[in-house]
Structure 1
């Protein structure tokens, strides 16, 4: 069975309890105690209770209607002014909080850009390493070919030497052939020396390529470690910014200097420095919002205390007039 609406007696009892405790009998405070009731019903019962209290105070004080109207008007104006100031301060605080969230979204976009650049650097490093491996393989194949050619030339040189020994025992006609063979051997030896020099150069180039590949791999690992550290620090800063949404907790974030990297990584360090400045700005904005929130709280407390004083003054009985003295 559905519960019936909140009665006037329930609301009046809570309003009197709040009044005795020095709190403002408004719709929010009443609803917190009752735990139920629609806004329109609570406001209607609260206004009825206030009117009856005011009527009772007017009857007890027996003040002129103009004085009562002036007091009532002053109290309403004070409440309206305090409410307007409080609402304006809350609206301003909400706008600044929204601006802080927009800054957070921009910060997350920058994080995405940095991750994209990290992936690009890794892809470039992998491509460079692959290219060096291809060059190394081609150099190795060239060295193998030169080694094969050198063996063939050595074999030919051996054959020419044997032919020379045979030619020395032949006739004068064969002597001419021997001389030509000597010339061929000399050229072959020169060619063999040239091929040996070329082979040494290729071996040196192969060693240089291997060192370059090792250096590129080491640089890629350092870049990957530095980028991982950046991811960790950015995640910590994001957690600090997320804490701002829950009760404006301390927004702390710091970034350590990344290891020395290529020119692209140094540019990322500059971007991170700018992000740290943005974080400090968010922290200062949070402190300003907190100060404004505390000021609003103090203003509400002062207004409630002022209303309590005015209501207490209005509830005090009027001093009797000394009619005998007047006569």
Structure 2
């Protein structure tokens, strides 16, 4: 937006004040009185004001009669021609100055417009720079988050490897658990349902715990050998359960961990299909270790 310029009235008032103070209203004097403003604009208004002023009569001293007689009419003619030429040159100079003042005002307006555009571009540049800094910070945060997820995924994979090592030891317990397979079938079914519903309400978990405690009570009369086998099986199940919990937490972090978990479950299901005596449920395993009391049929609670 162009700044407010000096008006003609302001220039005319200052020029008249200078004349009243018996000073010549020059461009510099008017500019000093105003204190601000474009020299081109002040010159244009001052020229307009000067053109409207009546020339003051010149006071000439009384010429010497002898000199006046000598010069005569020729000197008057030369003086008139010189004055006419001077007035013509002055008018031409004033016209050129007016044109220059007009061009100067246009240049000043263009300068002000360019200054405003530069200010807008600078502001836009600063805004873009701020957004770039924010995007760089966000990218750095995402990199750190990705690194953290990779570390967590590596931990899950290590836990999976440990679980597989523990699961490899399960087949050597199958011979010791042969007498428990009948009752294990029912407990295995209950445990599978409990595993799939691990996120349900506390009441369901309490019911599962009560069932497990009842199973442990029924298995309390098992022999020392069965107790040792149950302990090893419980440790294997605890490691398996810890791995399942870590895999559940890593579901949203890495698709690769989910794939490995599915492979592990598929492997365990294949073992159950090949060996009905599979020990995926520690509670069921412990119940199978205790043979049913005399007079009761296997598989009935």
Pick the TM interval, shorter chain.
0.3 to 0.5
Q: TM-score, normalised by structure 1?
A: 0.33
- Which structure has the highest helix share of the two? 1
Q: TM-score, normalised by structure 2?
A: 0.35
